[in-house]
Amino acid sequence: MAEESKPVEQTTQSSEIVEAGKVSGWLKENGFDHEFMELDHLGVEVLKVQPDVWLPIATALYAYGFNYLQCQGGYDFGPGADLVSFYHLIKVSDNTDQPEEVRVKVFLPRDNPKVPSVYWIWKAADWQERETYDMFGIVFEGHPNLKRILMPEDWVGWPLRKDYISPDFYELQDAY
What residues make up the domain containing 67? 20-159
| Residue 82 belongs to a domain | yes
Task: Report the number of distinct structural domains present in the chain.
Answer: 1
Q: Name the packing angle between helices 22-29 and 54-64 (round to 10°).
A: 110
Q: Smallest Cα–Cα separation from 140: which of 64, 74, 61, 63?
A: 74
| Residue 50 belongs to a domain | yes
Report the CATH number that the domain containing residue 134 is assigned in CATH.
3.30.460.80
pLDDT tens-place string over residues 131-157 = 999 999 999 999 999 999 999 998 999
Q: Of 5-14, 134-143, 166-175, give the lowest mean pLDDT range.
A: 5-14
| Residue 15 belongs to a domain | no
Give the 3-state secondary structure of residue 138: coil
| Residue 149 belongs to a domain | yes
| Residue 72 belongs to a domain | yes
| Residue 7 belongs to a domain | no
| Residue 62 belongs to a domain | yes
| Residue 88 belongs to a domain | yes
pLDDT tens-place string over residues 46-73 = 999 999 999 999 999 999 999 999 999 9
Name the percent of the chain in helix, strand, coil, to the closest 5. 25, 25, 50
